[in-house]
């Protein structure tokens, strides 16, 4: 099987997560939707703590005929704090500690719009300083023998075959992504650089255009061959350090803002029908549009595996849950009546 893990005639998907249940849904939905599951390889990267559980799950429930490789961050010898000092700086910087370890979220109250409150809570999430969340910027090094991969977040569901993405002419671009500045809604598809960056800071205002279009992480096709010819990682590191120097005042902390900068000039816009965002923010979501979209993304706090998930949007996710596992059934993601209906 090992040669297949680097066989570029296969379709390679990468997922970095410590959530076993979410990972299983992503994989299950992808296999069910694929026209070529026998030519599909999933590379799951997790932390050392979660590795035994993640590895055991996919050993017990292999998504045949697809192939799953599970690796822990600790298995990549070069992926250390010594080799990536900026990550150590992010985790130990006093402003970061204060930002993430405080006992409250400043500027929030129960009268806030729930979506604003959710957004503020998400901005405080410790995942934004975790190594797993930054791993996507090291894809060319993590998979030195691969030419192209699709990177997936763990809060997505694949509903239609993604095989056509492998045939897209990237025209020398590195990152195939859905742009998020072409819509009219306030929360998901109307985002420009001004949404993410602090343009009152001279370092930002002197270097960037507030009207520049943003794009989405969560379902990205990366041309690793083209990427290796760029300085994307170095630019990403540079701006992370600049944000640390400014005491985190250049942007709201997260991985997308430095990526927006690092991938400038390297984005290939793809049709929005490939990736629909906002299912974890917006309760009033067009269900017809949800059904038509290849990948739906529950970005936001209202994840489908949580009680706060929007009930009418959860079935798109729960139908890919493996309820044959007793532990999963005891999680009560669906009540017994819904479970029996789902089985029927």
Supply angle C-alpha 35, 280, 262, rounded to 5.
Answer: 75
What's the pLDDT tens digit per position in 320-339? 999 888 888 777 665 444 54
Tell whether 296 is covered by a domain. Answer: no
Residue 95 confidence (pLDDT): 57
pLDDT at 6 over 50: yes
Q: Is 211 exposed, middle or buried (0-12, 13-18, 19+ CB in 10 A)?
A: exposed
Among 221, 215, 217, 205, which residue's Cα sits nearest to residue 181? 215
What's the pLDDT tens digit per position in 175-184? 999 999 987 7
pLDDT at 154 over 50: yes
Tell whether 340 is covered by a domain. Answer: no
What's the pLDDT tens digit per position in 305-315? 998 899 999 99
Residue 91 confidence (pLDDT): 62
Tell whether 326 is covered by a domain. Answer: no
Find out whether 153 and 299 touch, Cβ atoms under 8 Å: yes
- pLDDT band for 1, please (50, 70, 90 cuts): low
Tell whether 285 is covered by a domain. Answer: no
What share of the chain in percent tops pLDDT 90? 64
Residue 336 confidence (pLDDT): 40
Find out whether 218 and 299 touch, Cβ atoms under 8 Å: yes
Q: At what angle do helices 51-60 and 20-33 cross, to 10 degrees?
A: 40
What's the pLDDT tens digit per position in 225-244? 999 999 999 999 899 889 88
What's the pLDDT tens digit per position in 32-51? 999 999 999 999 999 999 99
pTM: 0.88
Range of the domain at 71: 2-276
Tell whether 325 is covered by a domain. Answer: no
The phi and psi torsions of 148 (rounded to 5 degrees) equal -150, 140
Tell whether 312 is covered by a domain. Answer: no
138: tokens are 């090291």
Tell whether 46 is covered by a domain. Answer: yes
pLDDT at 16 over 60: yes
What share of the chain in percent tops pLDDT 70? 81
Using omega within 30 degrees of 0 as the cis cutoff, is the peptide bond preceding 65 cis? yes
Residue 281 confidence (pLDDT): 85
pLDDT at 257 over 90: yes
Q: How many domains does the chain have?
A: 1
Q: Measured between alpha carbons, how far is 53 from 116 in angstroms, rounded to an integer?
A: 34
For the domain that residue 201 is a member of, what is the CATH number?
Answer: 3.90.550
Tell whether 174 is covered by a domain. Answer: yes
């Amino acid at each position: 099987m090992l040669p297949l893990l680097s066989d570029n005639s296969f379709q390679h998907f990468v997922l970095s997560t410590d959530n076993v249940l979410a990972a299983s849904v992503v994989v299950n939905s992808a296999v069910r939707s694929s026209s070529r599951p026998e030519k599909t390889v999933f590379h799951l990267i997790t932390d050392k703590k979660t590795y035994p559980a993640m590895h055991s799950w996919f050993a017990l429930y292999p998504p045949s005929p697809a192939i799953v490789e599970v690796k822990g961050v600790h298995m990549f010898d070069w992926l250390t704090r010594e080799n990536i000092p900026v990550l150590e700086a992010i985790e130990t910087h006093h402003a970061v500690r204060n930002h993430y370890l405080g006992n409250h979220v400043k500027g929030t109250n129960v009268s806030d719009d729930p979506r604003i409150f959710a957004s503020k809570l998400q901005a405080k999430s410790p995942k934004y300083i975790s190594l797993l969340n930054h791993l996507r910027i090291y894809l060319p090094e993590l998979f030195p023998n691969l030419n192209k991969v699709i990177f997936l977040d763990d809060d997505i569901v694949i509903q239609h075959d993604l095989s056509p993405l492998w045939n897209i002419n990237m025209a020398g671009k590195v990152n195939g992504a859905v742009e998020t500045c072409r819509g009219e809604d306030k929360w998901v598809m109307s985002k420009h650089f001004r949404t993410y960056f602090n343009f009152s800071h001279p370092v930002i205002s002197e270097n960037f255009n507030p009207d520049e279009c943003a794009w989405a992480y969560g379902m990205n096709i990366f041309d690793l061959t083209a990427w290796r010819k760029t300085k994307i990682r170095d630019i990403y590191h540079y701006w992370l350090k600049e944000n640390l120097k400014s005491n985190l005042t250049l942007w709201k902390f997260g991985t997308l803002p430095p990526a927006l900068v690092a991938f400038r000039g390297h984005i290939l816009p793809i049709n929005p029908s490939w990736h629909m965002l906002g299912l974890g923010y917006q309760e009033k979501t067009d269900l017809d549009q949800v059904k038509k979209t290849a990948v739906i993304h529950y970005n936001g706090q209202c994840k489908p595996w949580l009680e706060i998930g929007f009930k009418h949007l959860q079935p798109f996710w729960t139908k890919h849950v493996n309820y044959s596992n007793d532990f999963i059934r005891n999680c009560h993601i669906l009540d017994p009546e819904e479970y029996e209906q789902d089985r029927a």
